[in-house]
Every structure is written in structure tokens, then in C-alpha cells.
Amino acid sequence: MNSIHPDQLLESLRWRYAVKSFDATRTVDSITWKAIEQAMVLAPSSYGLQPWKFIVVTSPKIKAQLPEISWNQTQPQDCSHMVVLAVRKSMDESYIDSYVQSIAETRSVPVEKLAPYRLMMMGTVQKMDPESVRSWNTRQVYIALGQLMTAAAVLGVDTCPMEGIDGKAYDRVLGLSNSDYSSVVGCAVGYRDASDKNAFAKKVRFPTDDLVEYL
Amino acid sequence: MNSIHPDQLLESLRWRYAVKSFDATRTVDSITWKAIEQAMVLAPSSYGLQPWKFIVVTSPKIKAQLPEISWNQTQPQDCSHMVVLAVRKSMDESYIDSYVQSIAETRSVPVEKLAPYRLMMMGTVQKMDPESVRSWNTRQVYIALGQLMTAAAVLGVDTCPMEGIDGKAYDRVLGLSNSDYSSVVGCAVGYRDASDKNAFAKKVRFPTDDLVEYL
């Protein structure tokens, strides 16, 4: 496997910041976008359950509706691809069965052989109340968010994570209101505008010695 | 900024899997490790608050105590660097002030100029009950987990995310019990063992068309 040099990774991660102003004239090309899309699809999740959906808005008409349900932030409109990461609100037997089916087909193993794994997942879920399941699923969505931003950075694509969105209003606009999924967090993807002064602000982090402890 | 080709990113993300058996004889070299460490330090978080600590265990004596508090999984012992991602349990005024101080120093701006930002953060936190703050902080930790795994993958380093750890027991072993932080999730970092058959299992994902919707 080809790997990159540690210095190149660090350069990308230091280059990344939460973009305030996107260049509305620039679009992520389709080859680069496909890799970012697959970075989300390939994101790790607990048991591999993928309790998420990724809604990608590129329609100018829909994008134009987003700032007013995002505390008037303009990133959802000006970016190239506005990603809304949605969580599966519950985790029921039929979903787990569809996942087990997916494993069986992908790996050409009989469903019966996966019974112990199925039982383990069911056991985990049945121990939790609905609110805990939703929180657990939501945490997985944040893994995908992390993978999305890191992947974009190494590809030289800018992002802005956006918790400041009105989830219920997003659900309405995106057609999720009566679905099993609900908007959790946004991530605007595209290219920084040359006028965005935040690009030049020094990155603020607590000292490594305060954040990382070695034992 | 140097960016990598989309195909190389995809190759890395497809190469990655949740390692079951690490090669206990292999260690991540210090240059590569430093980049992984900084990938955690540089992870994005809400408002940049970094509500986390990363405990890195390399001591064989401490590692040996981990499998029995990890459902007898051996990754924490056999990997090169066992990372435990811990969440800040609360978010109080003094923490926010220390963060504002850190911004002021890094960017050479007077603390007074940051008063509106401070007020915004305080407003967000004061609206939440303690449990919600902790959940919010925990979600941020999962961004760091995502960035950690993606960063390791592009560097050719293996990982295994581990939710199946006894958080309270980890807190005791790591000395976090009476601290402001609590163990949330582990991530074993190192190199897969040649005997790990999971490396050759086909990656299971729902079809992209089911996971990604375009609007």
C-alpha cells in the first residue's frame, strides 16, 4: 500500500481550518468528490452498522434555503457540496438483519454462520434504551464526520463542520421528517474564498503536553 | 499545499480495517507516531474547545492489565500504542476562560476582543444540562477518533477502534478516576499480524446509493 510521508499529513492537517467564506464559483471535480463520498461510505462504525445517511446538496435552489436555518451562516449556500450527516434514529431487528444479509452476500457466507454476530449486536442494542441507542448512533456519525474532514484535507479540499444548524428545519427541507433518519451535523465542502481572513489566523490548540499523556 | 491523488486516499481507506490481531513485535516509529499524535491534537472540535485528553499506553506492564477490562480482547496489549480517548466531563467557565486565554496568546489579541466569542460559548453551554454537555463533548471525541483512524490509514498504520472497554476500570488503571476526564473509547494503533484473517475479508458496506442521497 502506498502511504504518505508524516510531514505531508501534518501539512494537510495544519492547512485545514473551519472555512467561514467559500468561493461560490468553485466546484469540487467529480473524481475528487467521488473519493470524498467514498470516504464517508467507508467510515468505520460500531459493528460496522453504518447508522447513517449522507445527504449531499448541490442544487442551488435547495442550497439557497439553508443559510436561514443555519443561523444565517453562508457556508451551506456558497460551498460546492453541502453534506448533511443524518443519524439513524433507532436500531431495530430488521435493520440488523439487513446488515447481516449484507455481510452474507458480500462475503459469500451463509446467514446462519453469522448468527453469533447477529446475537451479539442484538444483545448490545437490547440492553440500551432508545435515547442511548440514538446517542450511540450519533457518535458513529461523528466518526464519519472526522473521516470526511481528514480525507478532504489530504485531498486539498476545504471543509467547515456545522453543528449550528436547525436539525428539524433541515429534516423538512431534505425530506427526512417522516424517515428513520434525522439531520445531526453539516459539513460544507469546497474551496476557501481568498477573502477569508480566518485562513491566516494561527491555529489554536492547547499544548500537546496538556492534551496527550504517556503511560 | 501538497495533496494526494483521490485513488491513493481510496486505496488507504480500503486497506484499513478493524485489526483483530496486532503484531506484538512491531512498533510505530517515532516520526510516524508524532504525526499520529498531532493528528489528534489538530482534530477539529466545536468552537475549538478540545474537550478531550488522549492517554497513550506503551508500558508493557500497563498494557498487560488492559485485555481483562476490554472483554478479553488482546489488541490493547499487542498493539504498538494503545490510545484511550477521554472526554472532559463538563464544560465550565474556568475551562472556557483558559481556552479564550489560549486564543489570545496564540493570536496575540487582547482577551477583551474575544469577549463576544466567549459569551457565545458560555451561552451555548449554559443552555445545556450537564448530561447534554457531556454528550456534546463525547461527540467531539469521536471526531478525533475519526481523524486518528484516517490519519493512521494514509500513513500505512493499522488501528482498531474499541468501544468494548470498561470505562470505569480504564479510568482506574489510567489514573483518571478523580479527574475531569473519563475514558470513552480506545483505539489500538500498530501493525496487523500476518495471521489476522480479517485483513482478507471483503469490506462490508451498504450500497452507496442507499447511504448517499443527492439533492
DSSP letters for A5-20: -HHHHHHHHHH--B-S
Q: Is residue B131 part of a domain?
A: yes
Q: What is the rounded average pLDDT of the residues B144-168?
A: 98
Asked if pLDDT for residue B1 goes beyond 90, the answer is no
A61 CB-contact burial (10 Å; exposed 0-12 / middle 13-18 / buried 19+): exposed
Per-residue pLDDT tens over the stretch A68-81: 999 999 999 999 99
Say whether A35 sits in a helix, a strand or coil: helix
Q: Is residue A203 part of a domain?
A: no
Show the domain range for B86: 19-197
Contact A44 B142 (CB under 8 A): no
**Chain A neighbors of B102, CB-CB under 8 A:** 204-206
Strand A81-88: give its sheet, edge to edge: A158-162, A181-190, A81-88, A52-57, B212-214
Contact B44 A161 (CB under 8 A): yes
Asked if pLDDT for residue A156 goes beyond 90, the answer is yes
Would the ipTM clear 0.90, i.e. be above it?
A: yes
Please, how many CA atoms are within 13 Å of residue B151, restricted to the half-sphere of its CB?
32
Other residues' Cβ atoms within 10 Å of the Cβ of residue B205: 17
Q: What is the CATH number of the domain that holds B177?
A: 3.40.109.10
Nearest by CB to B1, which of A12, A48, A149? A12
Answer whether B34's CB lies under 8 Å from A204's CB.
no
Q: Is residue A207 part of a domain?
A: no
Size of interface A-B (CB pairs under 8 A): 237
Per-residue pLDDT tens over the stretch A168-183: 999 999 999 999 999 9
Contact A150 B145 (CB under 8 A): no
pLDDT value for B148: 98
Contact A50 B144 (CB under 8 A): no
Q: pTM to 2 decimals?
A: 0.97
Answer whether A67's CB lies under 8 Å from A73's CB.
yes
Bridge partners (DSSP) listed for residue B160 = B188
Q: What is the rounded average pLDDT of the residues B125-150?
A: 97
Per-residue pLDDT tens over the stretch A28-87: 999 999 999 999 999 999 999 999 999 999 999 999 999 999 999 999 999 999 999 999
Which of B129, B187, B180 has the alpha carbon at shortest distance from B161?
Answer: B187
pLDDT value for A129: 96
Q: What is the rounded average pLDDT of the residues B61-70?
A: 98
**Chain A neighbors of B18, CB-CB under 8 A:** 44
Q: Is residue B133 part of a domain?
A: yes
- Reported as a pLDDT band with limits 50, 70 and 90, residue A19 is very high
Per-residue pLDDT tens over the stretch B79-95: 999 999 999 999 999 99
Rounded to a whole number, what is the distance in Å from the CA of A112 to chain B's nearest CA? 17
**Chain B neighbors of A175, CB-CB under 8 A:** 215
How large a percentage of chain B has pLDDT more than 90?
99
Nearest by CB to B4, which of A15, A31, A155? A155
Q: Is residue A39 part of a domain?
A: yes
pLDDT value for A214: 98
Answer whether B167's CB lies under 8 Å from B173's CB.
no
CA dist list (Å): A118 to A51, A123, B196: 16, 9, 21
Rounded to a whole number, what is the distance in Å from the CA of A2 to chain B's nearest CA? 7
- Mean pLDDT over all residues of chain A? 97
Answer whether B54's CB lies under 8 Å from B39's CB.
no
Q: Is residue B10 part of a domain?
A: no
Q: Is residue B7 part of a domain?
A: no
Which of B124, B20, B136 has the alpha carbon at shortest distance from B78?
Answer: B20
**Chain B neighbors of A7, CB-CB under 8 A:** 35
Task: Look at the alpha carbons of A32, A35, A41, A43 in this order and tell me if their dihedral is positive or negative.
Answer: negative
**Chain B neighbors of A55, CB-CB under 8 A:** 212-213, 215
| β A81-88/A181-190 pair status | antiparallel
Which of A27, A66, A44, A31 has the alpha carbon at shortest distance from A158?
Answer: A27
CA dist list (Å): A48 to A52, A99, A144, A206, B143: 11, 9, 12, 33, 17
Answer whether B183's CB lies under 8 Å from B174's CB.
yes
Q: Is residue A210 part of a domain?
A: no
- Residue A194 CB contacts under 8 Å (≥ 6 apart), including other chains: A23
Q: What is the rounded average pLDDT of the residues A138-159?
A: 98
Nearest by CB to B202, which of A11, A62, A107? A107
Q: What is the rounded average pLDDT of the residues B2-11?
A: 96
Which of B73, B14, B21 has the alpha carbon at shortest distance from B197?
Answer: B21
Q: What is the rounded average pLDDT of the residues B156-179?
A: 97
Contact B212 A53 (CB under 8 A): yes
Nearest by CB to A43, which of B59, B146, B157? B146
- Reported as a pLDDT band with limits 50, 70 and 90, residue A1 is confident
pLDDT value for A155: 98
Question: For residues B78 and B57, what is the distance between their CA atoms, to the nearest angstrom?
Answer: 11
Mutation site, A41, A53, A75, interface B, largest B CB count within 10 A:
A41
H helix or E strand, kind and range, residue A141: helix A130-154
Question: For residues A134 and A128, what is the distance between their CA atoms, to the nearest angstrom?
Answer: 10
pLDDT value for A192: 98
**Chain A neighbors of B44, CB-CB under 8 A:** 16, 18, 146, 149, 161
Rounded to a whole number, what is the distance in Å from the CA of B1 to chain A's nearest CA? 7
Nearest by CB to B202, which of A106, A143, A157? A106
Q: How far is CA A46 from the centre of its chain?
A: 15
Question: For residues B153 and B135, what is the distance between their CA atoms, to the nearest angstrom?
Answer: 27
Number of folded domains in chain A?
A: 1
